[in-house]
Amino acid sequence: MLRKASSLFGFSLYTKDNEELGSIHDFYFDREDWKVRYLVADIGAWLFGRRVLIATPALGAPLWENEVLPVDLTKAQVKESPDIDLAQPVTRRHETELTGYYGWPGYWMTPMVAPTAGVAPAVAPRGARDPGLPEEVVEGLQNAEESYIHSMRDTQGYSIEATDGDIGHIDDFFVDDQDWVIRYLLIDTGNWLPGKKVLISPGWVNSVDWHDGRIYVEVPKARVENSPEYDPGGPLERTYERDLHRHYGYPTYW
């Protein structure tokens, strides 16, 4: 089912030993395919001021009525996990350290080179830039310092640019709670269409300026204005999704 990401903020996290771990503070998604890769767990109640990343393979099914999300980890595992400063960009190096510690598969790697539990993939030391290294090795070192995932909280508020002008900003994300794929951006049209919110699929995004916080979509403003009415009070029905895709002239994802 598709749910607003913000509706999960504050959900309690419980370990596989049925101990309360903390609560959901945020999500990080992959900018290549708009898939949630990690949640940010606020565990400050027992580890003062600390927030940690937990990858989606470790997540169970949300218990919506109880506002609980099970996690296939122990408190001890989380306590000893790599301490990543989430006030800074999360780089591929950080992700590699994390997946190596937990034994999670690196989603950016082929199955042949995914790490096994307790074995971190080889990453050259920070600052290693030997001019004699092969070009592909140098490229790998540079990639390790790049950030490929983004915070949902930080992305909320990004401007959305149609082919002929601004249409509003990101208010929320609709996520599939089965595979953690972001299916829609919920756009607040602000002063342009007062009181109206519309849905845009990440598949219709042409480009993103992550530095300036602007997302460019391949649709004109008139088509957005005349799009099927989104009802914020009810669930997203498949019939509505079908009408939405038909209106914009894009194939459905299912």
Map out the domains of the chain with their CATH numbers.
2-150 (2.30.30.240), 156-248 (3.90.50.10)
Q: What are phi and psi of 149, to 5 degrees?
A: -125, 155
| Cβ–Cβ < 8 Å for 41, 25 | yes
pLDDT for 39 equals 99
pLDDT of residue 144: 80
| pLDDT tens sequence for the chain (254 residues) | 999 999 999 999 999 999 999 999 999 999 999 999 999 999 999 999 899 999 999 999 999 999 999 999 999 999 999 999 999 999 999 999 999 999 999 999 855 444 444 434 444 444 444 455 455 544 444 568 899 999 999 999 999 999 999 999 999 999 999 999 999 999 999 889 998 999 999 999 999 999 999 999 999 999 999 999 999 988 899 999 999 999 999 999 99
Which pLDDT does position 245 carry in this prediction?
Answer: 98
Residue 131 confidence (pLDDT): 53
Long-range contacts: 100-108, Cβ < 8 Å, 24+? 102/55, 102/58, 102/73, 102/77, 104/55, 104/57, 104/58, 105/57, 107/30, 107/35, 107/37, 108/148
Under a CB-based contact definition with an 8 Å cutoff, are residues 35 and 83 in contact? Answer: no
Under 8 Å between Cβ of 86 and 119: no
The predicted model scores a pTM of: 0.86
